[in-house]
Amino acid sequence: MTRRIVLALLVLSVVLVAAAAVPLGLSITERERLAFRIETQAAARVIAASAEEHLSDHESATGMVTGLAEAAKAGHCAAVYDAQGQPIGTTPCPVPPGPAEELTGRALKGQEPAPREVHGRLVAAEPVGSFRQPTGAVVLSRSTDPLDDRITIAWAWIGLVAAVGVAASALLSVRLARWVGRPLTTLDTAARHLGEGRLGERADVSGGPPEVRRLAATFNTMAARTEALIHGHQAVVADVSHQLRTPLAALRLRLDLLATAGPDSAPELLASAQDEVGRLSRLVDGLLAVARAEQTVPKPVAVPVDEVAAERVAAWEPVAQEKGIRLTFRGGTGAGPVVSLGPDALEQVLDNLLDNALDAVPDGGTVTVDRSRRPDGVRLRIVDDGPGMTPEARDQAFRRFGNTKARGTGLGLAIVHRLITANGGSIRLEDSPGGGLTVVIDLPLWRDADRAS
For the domain that residue 217 is a member of, what is the CATH number?
1.10.287.130
Beta strand 326-330 pairing with 366-374: parallel
- β partners of residue 222: none
Average pLDDT (379-391) is 89
Q: How many angstroms separate the CA atoms of 124 and 113, rounded?
A: 8
- β partners of residue 369: 329, 382
Phi, psi of 424 (to 5 degrees): 85, 10
For residues 214 and 351, state if they share a domain.
no
For residues 234 and 272, state if they share a domain.
yes
In a domain, 170, yes or no: no
CB 143 within 8 A of CB 43: no
Average pLDDT (379-407) is 75
For residues 215 and 318, state if they share a domain.
no
Say which amino acid occupies 336: G
Q: How many angstroms separate the CA atoms of 184 and 178, rounded?
A: 10
Q: Of 354, 350, 356, whose CA–CA distance to 409 is shortest?
A: 356
Domain count, the chain: 3
Mean pLDDT estimate for the chain: 81
For residues 322 and 402, state if they share a domain.
yes
pLDDT digits (tens, 9 = 90+) for 65-81: 988 999 999 889 999 99
In a domain, 199, yes or no: no
pLDDT digits (tens, 9 = 90+) for 119-161: 888 999 989 887 778 888 999 999 999 999 999 999 999 999 9
Q: What is the CATH number of the domain that holds 320?
A: 3.30.565.10
Domain with 50, as residue range(s), is 2-149
Say which amino acid occupies 223: A
In a domain, 326, yes or no: yes
Phi-psi domain of 334 (left: phi exceeds 0; alpha: psi -120 through 50; beta: other): left
pLDDT band per the 50, 70, 90 thresholds, residue 453: very low
For residues 310 and 231, state if they share a domain.
no
For residues 284 and 318, state if they share a domain.
no
Q: What is the CATH number of the domain that holds 36?
A: 3.30.450.20
For residues 435 and 330, state if they share a domain.
yes
In a domain, 94, yes or no: yes
Say which amino acid occupies 309: A
For residues 344 and 410, state if they share a domain.
yes
Domain boundary among 294, 327, 347: 294
For residues 23 and 112, state if they share a domain.
yes
For residues 228 and 266, state if they share a domain.
yes
CB 287 within 8 A of CB 247: no
Q: Of 453, 448, 449, 430, whose CA–CA distance to 440 is shortest?
A: 430
For residues 10 and 140, state if they share a domain.
yes
pLDDT band per the 50, 70, 90 thresholds, residue 401: low
pLDDT digits (tens, 9 = 90+) for 164-220: 988 888 888 888 877 777 777 888 888 888 888 887 888 887 777 788 888 888 888
Percent of the chain with pLDDT over 70: 84
